């Protein structure tokens, strides 16, 4: 079960890959291959997490919410570049957020206790803390986007972030799902998608969005895309 053995692009989780061999071995003994079906709830607010997940395919969504769940918004997006359960790296086993599988896929998981042990290793801890840093930058820029961007641009930003985390150019999601992530009306997503389609940036059909023009999308988002990605690259790539 070597994480990086399959040859095609993007196989394996990028946090687990690029790790010193000794560490990789340590991790591998505790990693378990799992399926990540769409809709699976990975973490519930204020409940101890039993496993942390390292996706290799699919996208996981971290959702901030009020205690009663009256308001919900996506605060973080995780794909094969990251992991769920960042709070474990930060020394606690629960958080007030909910974490779900947004786009089905697969990955590895590890018992929380095993990760806590492995975090004794300085090199591993450093790498995962760097990821927590990148994730917090992502959240901050989501706050920025929520405050300053129009719905079209926020949608474009979300599609870009999602595109970074999948293989190919097709996102299989309904407008309804997207509206929850962005915290807007479903109908608003429909209209905004039409705008993006009108610009030739995407092509949407029932339950599926195909990204046609990444650069066009980036242009539409302006400076609100790219900062978290650059920070991730600085600390965790290469």
Cβ neighbourhood burial of 73 (10 Å; 0-12, 13-18, 19+):
middle
Cα separation, 32 vs 178, whole angstroms: 30
Compute the least distance from the CB of residue 37 to a copy of itself, in Å: 25
Residue (98 or 192) nearer to DNA, CB: 192
| Site for a copy of itself contains 41 (CB under 8 A) | no
Q: Could you tell me the sign of the dihedral formed by the alpha carbons of 41, 46, 48, 51, in that order?
A: positive
Tokens found for residue 148: 């300053």
Q: If binding is defined by CB under 7 A, does position 146 make contact with DNA?
A: no
By CB under 8 A, is residue 214 in contact with a copy of itself?
no
CA gap 52, 68 in Å, rounded: 25
Q: Is residue 212 a contact residue for DNA (CB under 7 A)? A: no
Q: Does 137 participate in binding a copy of itself (rule CB under 8 A)?
A: yes
Regarding 126 and contact with a copy of itself (CB under 8 A), the answer is: yes
Q: Is the CB of 124 or the CB of 193 nearer to DNA?
A: 193
Radius of gyration from C-alpha coordinates of the chain = 18
CB 68 within 8 A of CB 98: no
Work out which of 142, 192, 217, 221 binds DNA, going by CB under 7 A: 192
Closest distance to a copy of itself from the beta carbon of 66 (Å)? 3
133 binds a copy of itself (CB under 8 A): yes
Least distance between DNA and beta carbon 177 (Å): 8
C-alpha torsion sign, points 184, 187, 189, 195: negative
**Non-local CB neighbours of 192 within 8 Å, separated by 6+ positions:** 151, 152, 155
71 interacts with, out of DNA, a copy of itself, none, CB within 5 to 8 A per kind:
a copy of itself
Smallest CA-to-CA distance from 81 within 60, 99, 67 is with 60
Please report whether residue 136 would count as binding a copy of itself according to CB under 8 A.
yes
Stretch that binds DNA, among 78-86, 100-108, 163-171, 201-209 (CB under 7 A): 201-209
Which residues of the chain form contacts with DNA (CB under 7 A)? 150-152, 174-176, 183-188, 190-194, 204, 206-207
């Amino acid at each position: 079960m070597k994480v990086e053995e399959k040859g095609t692009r993007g196989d394996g989780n990028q946090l687990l890959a690029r790790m010193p061999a000794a560490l990789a071995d340590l991790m591998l003994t505790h990693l378990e291959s799992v399926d990540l079906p769409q809709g699976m709830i990975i973490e519930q607010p204020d409940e101890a997490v039993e496993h942390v997940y390292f996706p290799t395919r699919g996208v996981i969504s971290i959702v901030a919410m009020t205690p009663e769940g009256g308001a919900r918004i996506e605060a973080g997006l995780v794909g094969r570049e990251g992991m769920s359960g960042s709070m474990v790296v930060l020394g606690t086993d629960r958080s007030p957020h909910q974490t779900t599988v947004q786009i089905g896929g697969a990955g590895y998981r590890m018992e929380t206790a095993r990760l806590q042990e492995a975090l004794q290793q300085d090199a591993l801890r450093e790498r995962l803390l760097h990821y927590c840093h990148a994730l917090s930058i992502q959240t901050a820029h989501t706050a920025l986007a929520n405050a300053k961007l129009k719905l079209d641009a926020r949608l474009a930003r979300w599609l870009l972030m999602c595109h970074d985390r999948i293989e190919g150019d097709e996102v299989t999601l309904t407008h309804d799902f997207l509206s929850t992530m962005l915290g807007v009306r479903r109908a608003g997503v429909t209209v905004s998608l039409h705008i993006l389609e009108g610009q030739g940036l995407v092509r949407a059909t029932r339950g599926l969005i195909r990204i046609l023009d990444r650069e066009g999308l980036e242009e539409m988002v302006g400076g609100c895309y790219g900062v978290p990605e650059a920070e991730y690259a600085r600390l965790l790539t290469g």
